[in-house]
A and B are shown apart, each in its own frame.
Chain A
Amino acid sequence: MHRAWHGDPLHIRLSGRGGQGIILSGVVVAEAAMLDGKFVVHTQSYGPEARLGASKSEVVISAREIAFPEVAQADVLLCLSADAYQKYGERVAAGALSVIDDLVVGAGRATGEVMLPLRRTAREMGNELSANMVGLGALIAIAGIADPEHGRQAIRQWVKPEFREVNLKAFERGMELGAACVAAPS
């Protein structure tokens, strides 16, 4: 099976609703990949769009200098909300991995779409706003987009001290969810 996420450059799109910490998760992925020794470019949808409605944050990772900075077709997609899925769900490369929150109705039928309880897990852990970190953990476990240790370092670097612990825990839970889904026969 062709796995788009093994390519270089790797195009990652993180999407959700404004307020779900989409831009922060992009920065964390970029930082982690940087710690892996890669070139990274992070771009974000900005302004009103980042506050309301579907919002996205994109990271391009490569061993070489990166030219085109945006993501046309994602190799890896994270989707935390229904409107983000509607907007970005199909804009993926052949063989892409899409990790989608399982509360998004109607998703999960296309190949490469993996439904995971991202928001529910975060909620159970006491902070639904850390669903983005659950998602990141899952992406790292499934697609290996960065070294997990660098993921943790990046969270420590970019998340405000008062939310650091919650986010690190959410990230670990996401790693477990991802690992379980890799192990499961499909």
Chain B
Amino acid sequence: MRLVQGNEAVVWGALASGCNFYAGYPITPATEIMEYMARLLPGRGGVFIQMEDELAALGAVIGAAWGGMRGMTATSGPGFSLMQEHIGYAAMSQTPCVVVDSQRVGPSTGQPTMPAQGDVMQARWGSHGDRPALVVTASSVKEVYDTTRLSFEWAYAYRVPVIILLDAVLSHMRENIELPVLPASAELASPSGDPELPFGSHPFMPFSAATRTIVSGLAHDESGATRGSGIGTANEQILKGAIRQIENDAPRLARCRADRLEDAEWAIVSYGITARTARSAVDLLRADGVRVGLLELHTLWPFPEQIVQALAQRVRGMLMAELNLGQLVLSLRAAAQGMCPVSGLGRADGELFTPEAIAAAMSAEIRQIEVGGRMSHHV
């Protein structure tokens, strides 16, 4: 058992997953990830490099992946915005990598030291064009570790940039957790596949003497060719395949935690640091005899539609609490398909909700529904 900070848990999770390459650019509240990596990677035979900006950081991580190393970077809002171009490149070139975004209040410089959850949609839809997205979050230091481990696994299984959303509180929070012993160096399975087919549904194969791969952000087919009349279709096929694979696996990828939902008439849905407040809000409401439970989402994208739908069929109303002015509530409402009213509670002033505030919003929604009112969206 030891006291571990959220950002430190990212590093341990990454190293335990065989991460041996880190490129980054300092930014609050993600910087400690970089500082730990700077101290640990050289002695482990891995690579640490501070790049000139976040575009360069993710570019280097992608280059390193093709050079055979497992890479990651970490940033916060302003850097995450810059990284969008290379998140798109990683998606297009099917390059496995992990990007941590420790969210702070935005837009722009915003409140650098204060928590937010305003990058949820950017993590899904950022970068131009259509792309598969795997976005995860966590609400405790232990989960940060577990989520990071899973992210590396998924990055390679699906050949996508996996995005981990943290926030300023979680990044700096310390909790006592049990960390597994770190292996001196992780055993990485050596890649195998057909050198002629480096893209599409085929496994990721870094450059070697046996390959003659062309990696490009241009539309391409499974062989990497970028020309020919059918390229548009071939490229669309690859992207569709990647998107569909994640959609098909959504039930397996949808990690969440159900808390007192068995007998619940009402559900609070939340994620990340806000889910912890929501858990306390459930305590308060339950003490008042309200049958409410919490659905805490760990996987944000793919959005766990089936789980939400099953819940929407059972409960009389749902409330989404999040530290933004109404983002994931849109997906929740879409998934609920009108089966129950969905309201949203948001703030973007740099403070966490108090349990009382979430409880009050849930109570207000209950009152409104019970008198037959319409769903509301108050932010």
Contacts and interface: CB of A to CB of B under 8 A. Distances in A.
Contacts of B1: 34
A48 B112 CA distance: 10
A163 interface: no
Contacts of B29: 46-47
> Which one of B2, B29, B169 has the greatest number of beta carbons of chain A within 10 Å?
B169
A155 B362 CA distance: 43
Contacts of B277: 67-68
A27 B172 CA distance: 12
Interface in B87-119: 112-113
Contacts of A43: 169, 172-174
Nearest to B1: A34
Nearest to A47: B113
Contacts of A45: 113
B113 A49 contact: yes
B354 A30 contact: no
Contacts of B175: 39-42, 66
A30 B276 contact: no
Contacts of A68: 276-277, 279-280, 352, 354-355
Instruction: Give the size category of B's interface with A.
Output: 20 to 34
Contacts of A176: none
Interface in A57-74: 66-70, 72
Nearest to A41: B175
A154 to B, nearest CB: 9
A178 B330 CA distance: 54
B44 to A, nearest CB: 24
B276 A67 contact: yes
B3 A31 contact: yes
A30 B3 contact: yes
Contact of B3 (A42, A69, A72): A42
A67 B358 CA distance: 13
Contact of B112 (A39, A42, A47): A47
B28 interface: yes
A43 to B, nearest CB: 5
Contacts of B173: 41-43, 69
Interface string A64-106: 0011111010000000000000000000000000000000000
Contact of A46 (B113, B279, B280, B283): B113
Nearest to A59: B174
B328 interface: no
B337 interface: no
Given A47-B113, A49-B113, A67-B276, A72 B354 contact: yes
A30 B283 CA distance: 24
Contacts of A44: 172
B245 interface: no
A46 B172 contact: yes
B147 to A, nearest CB: 17
B38 to A, nearest CB: 19
5 contacts: A40-B174, A43-B172, A43-B173, A47-B29, A68-B276
Interface of B: 1-3, 28-29, 112-113, 168-169, 172-176, 273, 276-277, 279-280, 283, 352, 354-355
Interface of A: 27, 30-31, 34, 39-49, 66-70, 72
Nearest 6 interchain pairs by C-beta: A47-B113, A67-B279, A68-B280, A42-B174, A34-B176, A67-B280
